[in-house]
Structure 1
Amino acid sequence: MNAISPAVQQTSNDEIDLAALFHALWEQKLLIALVTLLVGMAAAAYAFLVTPEYQVQSVLRPAAIKDLDALNRTDVYELTPEQAMQRVGAALESYDSRLGFFRANQGLFEALRQPGRSLEQTFERFNQEAFKMLQPDPKKTEKLSGYVGVQLTYPKDVNGIALVNGLVEHAIQSERERIDSDLKTVIQNRLNQLELKIAAARANYEASKEATIAKLIEADSLKRAELQDELKALRQQSKTHRDNHITQLEEAIRIAKALGISKPTTPSALGEGERAGQGSVIRTEVNNKEVPLYFMGNEALEAERNALLQRRSDDFTEPRIAQIAKELQLLAHNRQIEVLNQRENADLFLKDLAIWREEAARLRSLQVDVSDLKLVSIDQVAVEPLRPVKPKKALILVSGVVLGGMLGLFIALLRNLLRRKSSAIAPA
C-alpha cells in the first residue's frame, strides 16, 4: 500500500497541473485571440498589399520534316527537327540573345526600372530571377516527344505575355538569320573550293603538258643524236670500204701489168699459150674460188680505180643512209609538240571540269528563303494568366492565423510560467 501511494499521488498532481495549465490559458484567451488577430491581420495585409506576380510560359516542339525539306535538299546544310528545336532552345537560354531582345524592346522593361539602377542593371537581375527554361526530365526515360520552353514570372505592371512571345519570336528569327549566314558561308566555301580545284587542275595540266613536251623534245634529241652517230659511222665505214677497195685495185693493177693482162680474161684463157707445146693435156678448172681481180685487166681496173678516186660521197652505196636521212627529216618537226603548243583552251582537256562547273552552277542557283523557315512548332503560346501565382492569399491567411495562434499560446505559457515563479518566491 505504501509503494502504491506515491504513484497515485504523482498522477493526481499531473492531472491537477494539466487542468491548472488549461485554466491558466483559458484565463488568457483574450491575449491569445488578440495575438492571433494581429498576426492574421499582418498576413492579410501582406497578402493583399504585396505586388502580385504572374507566370506565363511558351512550349516549343520539333517541327515537321517537311518544314525543313527545302533546306536539307540543298545537300550543303543538314538540319533535323530535333537539332532545330535545340538551337532555338539554346537561343532562348542565351544571355546574349535575351540582351539583344531587351535592347530592341526596352519599352517592355520600363516598368521594371528601379531608383538608383540603370535599365541594363534592372534587366540583369530580372534575367537571373524571372526566366526559367523548361525541358524534359532526363531521369524519365519514357516520354512521348522532346520539347523546350521558357517560363517567366513577372510583376503585375509588366507585359509578360508580350515578353515571352516576343522573346520566342526573337530567338526563332535570330536562328533563321544565323542559318542564312551559315548557309551562305558554306555555299561560298564550296564555290571557293571548286575554284581552287579548277585552278589546281589547270596548273597540273600546264605542268603535265610542259613535261610531255620536254620528254618529246628530249626523246627527239636523243634519237637525232643516235641517228647522226649511226650516219657518221656508216659514212666512215663506206669510206673505209672504198679506200680498201682502191688499195685492192692498185694491187691488182700491178699484178695485171706484170702478167701483161690488159683486157679481162680467165685463168683457163691465160694458159692457152702453154698448152700448145705440151701435147694432149686434160685440164680441169676449179670454179669454186673467186677469180682474182687482176684477171679483169689493168685497163678495167684503172678505170674502176679512177672512178672511186673521183667519188665525193658514198651515201648511195648504203641503203641505211637514205633511211637515216628520212628519219632525221621527220625529226625536224615533231607534230605532237606543235599540236600541244597550239592548244588554246586548256579547260577542254581537264578531267572532271564539267562535273565541277555543274556543281558550281548548282550552288550559285540555290535560292533558299529562310525568312519563313519553320524551325519549331509552337505547342503553347503565352496567354493571359487566370490568377497570379504570388502571393497565395489563402495559404498566407491560414498560415498567419496558425502562426498567430501558436505565438499567442507561447506568450500565454510564458506569462503563466513567470506568474508561478513569482508566487513561489513571494512567501519566502
Structure 2
Amino acid sequence: MIALFQAIWKQKLIIIATTAVCGLLALIYAYAVTPEYKVTSVLRPAAINELDALNRSGVYTLPPSEALLKVGASLESYDSRLGFFRENQELFEKFKKPGRSLEQSFEEFNRDSLKLTQPDPKKADSLSAFIGLELNYPQGVDGVQILNGFVDYAINAERDQIAADLKVIVNNRLTELKGKINAARSGYENDKEARIATLEEADALKRAQLQDELKALRNQLKAQRADRMAQLGEAIGIARSLGIQKPTTPSALGDSARSGDSSIMRTEITNQQIPLYFMGVEALEAERLALQQRKTDDFTEARIAQIARELQLLQSNREVEVLKQRQNEDVFLQGVEPLRAEVVRLSNLSNLDFTNLKLVSIDRKALAPTSPVKPKKALILLLGLVLGGMLGVLIALVRHYAQARVAGPQPSMAPALSATLTRSNDAGLSGKTLQNDRS
C-alpha cells in the first residue's frame, strides 16, 4: 500500500489536473444549463360566511371542506389543465417543441412540471386541510402568472359549474312545483266543471219535477171543474123541479107555502151543509156558465203560482253563472300558497351573484422566486471535483501498472527477490541431503 501510495503521489500533477478539468467542466455545465425555478400556491378552506348565501338557498349545500375538495379536483383534472393550456398558449411557448402536437407538449408539461400536494392523513403536522400546487419551469417562462392564472381558472371553472348545477336544480324544482300547481289547477277545473254539471243537473231535475207537478195539478183542477159542473147540473135539475129560482134555505122553503105575515125575521142555526140546489136555478146556472167559459184553472190553486215562481228562478242559476264568469281562477286554488311562495323564492335564486362567491381561501399566492432550484451549482462543482479526483487516481494507477509491466521488476525490489530465491535454494538442498541420509 505504501508503494502504491508512492506511485500515486508521484503522479499528483495528473490527478490535480484531472480534478481541475472535471471541476471546470462541472462549473461550465452548472452555468450553461438552463436554470429551473419553482413556485408554490397553497389553498385552504374558505370561511363559513363566504358560502352562507349558497347554503341558505336550501337547494345546494356546500361546506367549506367540500368546496376545497371540488377546487382540488378541478386543479388535478386533466381536462381543466388542458383547457387552461389551450386558452393561454402564449404562456407555454417554451414548452412547445417542433414536431409535437399541442396535446403532446401539454402531456410533457403536465407530467413533469405541475404537481398537486395534500397533507398526509397519517401525519398531524398540518392543523387544517390545505391543497398545494407546485410548478417547476425553466428560465424565460412566467411561472408565477401560469400558476396563479391556473388557480384562478380552476376556481372560476368550479364556480361556473356550481352555478350551472344550481341552475339545473332550481329549474328542475320549478318544473316540479309548476307541475303541482298545474295539477291543482286541473283538479280545480275538474271540480268546477263537476260542480256546474251537478248544479245544472239538479236544476233540470227540479224543473222536471215542478213541471210534472204543474201538469198533475192542472189535470186535477180540470177534473174538479168537470165534477163541479156535473154537480151544478144535477142541482139545477133539482132546483128547477122544486121551483127554487132564488137562493133559499130549507126552513124558508117550508114556510113559503103558508100564508102569513111576511115581515117575520128568522135566524136559522144548523151544523149541516145546505144542499147545493137551495142556491136556486139562477145562481146555479150562472156558476155553471162561468165554469164552462173558464179557460184556465190556474188561479184557483195557490201552488200553481208557487210552481211558476220556482220555474222562473230555475231559468238561470246564479251560482253557475258566477262560476263560468270567473276571470282569475288561480286565486280559488286550494293548498297552492306554499307552492307559489316556493316558486317565487326559487325564481329569486336565479339572480344569485356567483362572481363574488369565494370557494376557497388562497393562503399563499405564487411569488417570483429569488433563486433557481436547479441546477445546484455548489453541489455540481463538488461532485465534479470528487469525480475528477477519482478519475485522476484511476489514471495514475493505470499509468503505474502499465509502466511496471513494460519495464519489468523494479530495482528496488531486486534484493528482496534475490534473498527470496536464495532461501528457496537452501531449503531445497537441505531437503535433498536429508533424503540421502535416510536412504
TM-score by length of 1: 0.68
C-alpha spacing 1:380/1:249, structure 2 compared with 1 (3 Å): same
Which position in structure 2 is the counterpart of 1:306?
Answer: 289
The answer for the alignment partner of 1:109 in structure 2 is: 92
CA contact (8 A) 1:113 1:119 kept: yes
Q: Given residue 115 of structure 2, which amino acid in structure 1 is its aligned partner?
A: K
User: How many angstroms apart in 2 are the aligned matches of 1:316 and 1:151?
Assistant: 110
SS of aligned partner of 2:49: helix
Answer yes or no: is the 8 Å Cα contact 1:198–1:353 preserved in 2.
Answer: no
Q: Which of 114, 119, 124 is residue 131 of structure 1 equivalent to?
A: 114
2:361 pairs, out of 377, 387, 390, with 377
- CA deviation profile, 1:135-183 (whole Å, cap 9, x unmatched): 2334458963222222233445544333222211211222333344455
- Of 69, 72, 81, 1:98 maps to 81
Structure 2 unaligned runs (5+)? Answer: 259-267, 402-439
Structure 2: distance between partners of 1:199 and 1:362: 17
The correspondence for 2:148, drawn from 165, 188, 192, is 165
Instruction: Tell which deviates more after alignment, 211-220 or 339-348.
Output: 339-348
Question: 1:74-113 deviations in whole A, cap 9, x for unaligned?
Answer: 5665543233322221221111211121112223222223
Against the structure 1 CA distance between its residues 272 and 27, is the aligned structure 2 distance closer, same or farther, given a 3 Å change threshold? farther
Deviation larger for 220-229 or 392-401: 392-401
Evaluate the alpha carbon distance shift between residue 354 and residue 342 of structure 1 in structure 2; reply closer, same or farther with a 3 A threshold. farther
Among residues 306, 324, 344, which one is paired with 2:307 in the alignment? Answer: 324
Task: Using the TM superposition, give the Cα deviation of residue 315 of structure 1 relative to its aligned residue in structure 2, in angstroms.
Answer: 1.1
Tell me which residue corresponds to 2:130: 147
Give the letter for the 1:293 counterpart. L
Tell me the equivalent position of 2:63: 80
- Counterparts in 2 of 1:190-339, with a 5 A limit? 208-257=191-240, 261-266=244-249, 290-339=273-322
Counterpart Cα distance in 2 of 1:45 and 1:234: 133
Mapped partners of 1:298, 1:309: distance in 2: 16
Q: Is the 8 A contact 1:58 1:380 kept in 2?
A: yes
Measured after TM superposition, the shift of residue 50 of structure 1 is: 6.2
Contact 1:267 1:295 in 2 (8 A): yes
Question: Could you tell me how far apart the structure 2 residues matched to 1:303 and 1:64 are?
Answer: 112
Give the secondary-structure state (helix, strand or coil) at the position aligned to 2:209: helix
**Which structure 1 residue ranges, 5 or more long, are not aligned?**
1-21, 276-284, 416-428
In 1: Cα distance, 2:4 partner to 2:167 partner? 83
In 1, the alpha carbon distance for the partners of 2:89 and 2:363 equals: 27
Counterpart residue type for residue 213 of structure 1 = I
Amino acid at match of 1:125: E
CA distance in 2, matches of 1:319, 1:151: 106
Q: How many Å separate the matches in 1 of 2:36 and 2:97?
A: 17
Over 3 Å counting, the alpha-carbon distance change for 1:268 and 1:91 in structure 2 is same
Q: Shift of residue 241 of structure 1?
A: 1.8
Aligned length: 381
For residues 340 and 118 of structure 1, what CA distance do their matches in structure 2 show?
Answer: 73
SS in 1 for 2:366: coil
Distance 1:326 1:28, change over 3 A: farther
Q: Return closer, same or farther for 1:339/1:119 CA change in 2, 3 Å cut-off.
A: closer
Identity %: 56
Kindly provide the amino acid, as one letter, of the partner of residue 198 in structure 2: K
RMSD (CA atoms): 5.0
CA distance in 1, matches of 2:114, 2:150: 11
SS at match of 1:373: coil
Cα offset, 1:252, TM superposition:
3.6
Q: Tell me which residue corresponds to 2:427.
A: none
Deviates more, 1:119-128 or 1:393-402: 393-402
CA distance in 2, matches of 1:145, 1:164: 22
* SS class of match (2:115): strand
- Asked whether the 8 Å contact 2:155–2:359 carries over to 1, the reply is yes
* SS of residue paired to 1:383: coil
Judged with a 3 Å threshold, the aligned counterparts in structure 2 of structure 1 residues 130 and 260 are, in CA distance, closer, same or farther, namely same
Q: Which amino acid aligns with 2:303?
A: R
Separation in 1 of the partners of 2:124 and 2:276? Answer: 120
The alpha-carbon distance between structure 1 residues 66 and 153, as it changes in their structure 2 partners (threshold 3 A), is same
Tell me, in whole angstroms, the C-alpha distance in 2 between the residues paired with 1:365 and 1:147: 30
Give, in angstroms, the shift of residue 370 of structure 1: 3.1
* Deviation by residue 1:338-376 (Cα, 9 ceiling, x = unmatched): 334444444555565798389549845965443343221
Q: Which moved more, 1:176-185 or 1:122-131?
A: 176-185
TM-score (norm 2): 0.67
Distance 1:271 1:27, change over 3 A: farther
SS at match of 1:370: coil
* Structure 2 CA distance for aligned equivalents of residues 305 and 107 of structure 1: 124
